[in-house]
Amino acid sequence: MKNENIPAFLKSKSLKELREEIDQILTKLERNDIDLNSSFQDYQKLIELNKRINQMFREKVKEISKDKKILNDKKKIK
């Protein structure tokens, strides 16, 4: 998967912060009193938040896989 261009302000946020921001946007989008332009901007922000979360999970999977390989290698040596 190609490396997405994630804005710097999103890279510094924790998963919890990203989730809270997503929840706020979804709550706003569920209201009926918002205009189309605002909805489009919120949708674009959701896409960026989702990209960052996916990137975080990919990084964590790589880390876990690496740790698992190291653990398995240590078991083989014993």
Among 12-16, 22-26, 32-36, 37-41, the range scoring the smallest mean pLDDT is: 32-36
Contact (CB, 8 A) for 7 and 49: no
Residue 19 confidence class, pLDDT cut points 50, 70, 90: very high
- The pLDDT value recorded for residue 46 is 94
Digit-coded pLDDT (tens) for 31-73: 877 788 888 999 999 999 999 999 999 999 999 999 888 888 8
Contact (CB, 8 A) for 48 and 22: no
Supply 30's token pair.
Answer: 């569920």
Residue 27 has pLDDT above 50, yes or no: yes
Residue 1 has pLDDT above 50, yes or no: no
